[in-house]
Amino acid sequence: MNLFRLTGDMLHLLSIFLILWKMLTKRGCAGLSFKSQLLYSIVFATRYLDFYFTLYSPYLTAMKFFFLASSFWILYLMRVRFRASYDATGDSTNVFYLIIPCVALTVAYQLGVVGMEEFSVQDFFWVFSEFLEAVAILPQLWMLQKTGASETLTVHYLAALGGIKGILRGVVAACAVVESGTHDNSATK
């Protein structure tokens, strides 16, 4: 088990538990961006396509299942159970302005770097999920800027997400060094 991966996964779990704890204890989702959560759900659904076809270690399988299930549970809580507390006017980002450039970048990457002879649907969606994850937090940040309200738990949630990204980028860099410059996306799957 890679220490970077374990630390990143624990921070990711912490961020999920923070957002769920906030919503369940406050019985609402005020201050949280549904659009960011939707984008993260798309990230996990596209990144973990292999979850449906390939069995990895029990740890990886459990983590992928938890990330997928929790992201969709958060969407359910925000859209159904705590709908009355959702601030649609503060969460006004059009997510297509984020998704479409990510698709375009993925196509450019596949054509320019990977090439069509090595094209695979699973890798295409994995690359797309990487691009989308880079911008998925933007609706939450724009919502905080627009409303001017930030609760302590929301800030802790954002800090945990930022920590995850830094650690996982360290994993990718370490893998690149160890593997003499080759890129293997399994380090962040």
Mean pLDDT of 38-66: 89
pLDDT grade for 172, boundaries at 50, 70 and 90: low
C-alpha distances in angstroms, 100 versus 30, 104, 112, 156?
28, 6, 18, 29
pLDDT grade for 155, boundaries at 50, 70 and 90: low
pTM of the model: 0.79
- The answer, yes or no, to whether residue 23 has pLDDT greater than 50, is yes
More confident residue, 180 or 59: 59
- The answer, yes or no, to whether residue 6 has pLDDT greater than 70, is yes
Angle, CA 44 vertex, CA 137 and CA 61 arms, to 5°? 135
pLDDT grade for 182, boundaries at 50, 70 and 90: very low
Q: Distance between CA atoms of 173 and 10, rounded to whole angstroms?
A: 19
Q: 116: which DSSP letter?
A: G
- What mean pLDDT is reported for the chain? 82
Residues 112-150: tens digit of each pLDDT: 877 777 788 888 999 999 999 989 988 988 888 887 766
Please report how the helices 121-135 and 96-109 are oriented relative to each other, as an axis angle in degrees rounded to 10.
Answer: 140
Predicted pLDDT of residue 187: 46
